Structure formats: C-alpha cells, structure tokens
Structure 1
Amino acid sequence: MTDFYLPYNKQLIPRAKELRQNMTMPEKKLWSEYLRHNSFKFMKQRPINNFIVDFYCAKAKLIIEIDGDTHFTNDGIAYDLTRTAILESYGLKVIRFTNHDVIHSFEGVCQAIEKALEIPPPPLNKGASIQAFRK
C-alpha cells in the first residue's frame, strides 16, 4: 500500500467501467497477453484527474496509453500533450504506443514496458549502510 494519492473525477467511473468492457483489440491484446500476467499490478481504464488512462501501474507510477487514429489529428496531438503534462505533474511516467505498434511489434512494445518498469532502488542512507556493514 502507498500513501500516494491521485485525484480523480468520480463521474468518470461509469465510463471507465464501460471502457473496460469494450476495450479495443490492441488494448485486449496487451492486457491479456502481457499486462494481466505481469509481476507488476496494472489497472485497466483507470480514472486519474479528469482523464481515463488505458493502463496504470501504481507501484511504478507508470501510465501506458494505446493510441488509435483520433490521437493523430492536430486536436488529438494537442490534447495528448496537455494531458500528458498534467499526468506527469503528478510524478507519473506516460508511455505511448500506437495500435499498429501493439499489433505488429508486440515484442518491442513489451520490451519497452519492461524498461519503463525498471525502478531504481531508493538511495542508501550512508549512515544506515555503514551501520549495516559493521554488524
């Protein structure tokens, strides 16, 4: 359990549930073939702030977004940039893949996620490490 709290709009919960029930083919593939069985726990369609992110791992503070065609319009690109900046302001890391990436480069997508999940160890307290060594 963590003390880390992310705000969310409770009005988005019904929509998030609906999206969980109706995931896109690339989202289903990534979930069923990789994220669902990952040693890190992921949540599908998680409300954060006024957004619903595709996948969220609290331990790694990682958001994974799978982008379809609507993300590549001028409006979609601008919206995603703003959205990403807001999510990153909470200390979250956002990584994005296209539908095409998930379908045609699945192994590469999984490798990129593995790399993003590499959590550096917390810095050692010098006094604590010396004490541990002396024991």
Structure 2
Amino acid sequence: MLHGPKKTQALAGELRRNMSLPEVLLWQELRKRPGGLKFRRQHPAGSFILDFFCARHRLAIEVDGEAHDRGDRPVRDQRRDAMLIAAGIRVLRIPAKEVLGDLDAVVAHIVATALPPSG
C-alpha cells in the first residue's frame, strides 16, 4: 500500500475536508462501492496525494480541473503518473467537466477500468 510522510498525511486530511464539487460528487458514488470496489479518498502516495485510490486493484483516480492545464501542473502530473506507474499503479485521469456532465458514465468507466472482463 502507498503511504506518505506525516506532512503529506496531514495535507491529505485537509484536502478531505475541502474537496472540490466534482470530487465530492464522485466520492458520493465511489463510497457506495460500485462493482464491489473500495476506494480511499485523498490518499497519500509518497509526496503526492491521490484523489481516489483502490488498493486491491492498484488504481488511482485523478479528477482534473482546468488548473491541471496551467503553470507547472502538467509537468507535475506527468512526474506523479510516472512514479505511480513505476510502482505498478494504473492512473485514470478524468476531467472534472465529465464528472459534472455524466457522473453515471464516469463511474461505469472506473468500474470497467478496475475490473477485467470475465470470460
């Protein structure tokens, strides 16, 4: 399981209390355990904090608002994704506008990504 230093853990707690609207809406659905998946929200991973993390299926979900396109954020996101991939974690980036526009489709996509097709 991924962990972070105490400073990152404290920041994760702060972020849990101040989630964005798309994060809140997605969390309301993910906490229902769609497809039997258990997610943690604002989970520390080294010096980073994942929006949502399913440990069993090693899947990180990142809700990207428009701020992810500005400044050093794209480079930081690439660095974070590379660290996660190197640790065997899949990263699913979802635009915030998709969460706001079609939450059911986003949740279905998350479940389909996490669970391999049976057969």
TM over 0.5: yes
Q: 1:120 Cα shift? A: 6.9
Specify the code of the residue in structure 1 equivalent to 2:23.
E
- Residue by residue over 1:57-106, the C-alpha shift from the partner in whole angstroms, topping out at 9 and shown as x without a partner, is 10010000001121012521111111101111110000011110100021
Larger radius of gyration: 1
Q: Work out the number of aligned pairs and report it.
A: 116
The 2-side partners of 1:70 and 1:76 are apart by 7
* Structure 1 residue 10: Cα displacement: 2.1
* Cα deviation 1:28-71 (Å, max 9, x = unaligned): 00011x10011211101000011000000100100000011210
Query: Which runs of 4 or more aligned residues in structure 1 lie more than 4 Å from their structure 2 counterparts after TM superposition?
Result: none
Counterpart position of 2:14: 18
Distance 2:8 2:78 in 1: 21
Deviation at 1:6, TM superposition (A): 2.6
In the aligned structure 1, how far is the partner of 2:40 from the partner of 2:25?
A: 15
For structure 1, list consecutive stretches of 5 or more residues without a partner in the other structure. 122-135
Tell me, in whole angstroms, the C-alpha distance in 2 between the residues paired with 1:10 and 1:43. Answer: 17
Runs of at least 5 residues in structure 2 that lack an aligned partner in the other structure? none
SS at match of 2:11: helix
Corresponding position of 1:100:
97
* TM-score normalised per structure 1: 0.80
Q: 2:32 aligns with which of 32, 37, 43?
A: 37
**Percent of paired sites with the same residue:** 36
Q: Tell me the equivalent position of 1:132.
A: none
State the secondary structure of the residue aligned to 1:37: coil
Cα distance in 2 for partners of 1:24, 1:98 equals 13
Q: Which amino acid aligns with 2:66?
A: D
Q: Does 1:57 align with 2:54?
A: yes
Q: 1:6·1:90 contact (CA, 8 Å) conserved in 2?
A: no
- Secondary structure of the residue aligned to 2:31 is helix
Q: Give the whole-Å Cα distance in 2 for the aligned partners of 1:73 and 1:46.
A: 23
Relative contact order, CA 8 A, sep 6+: which one is greater? 2
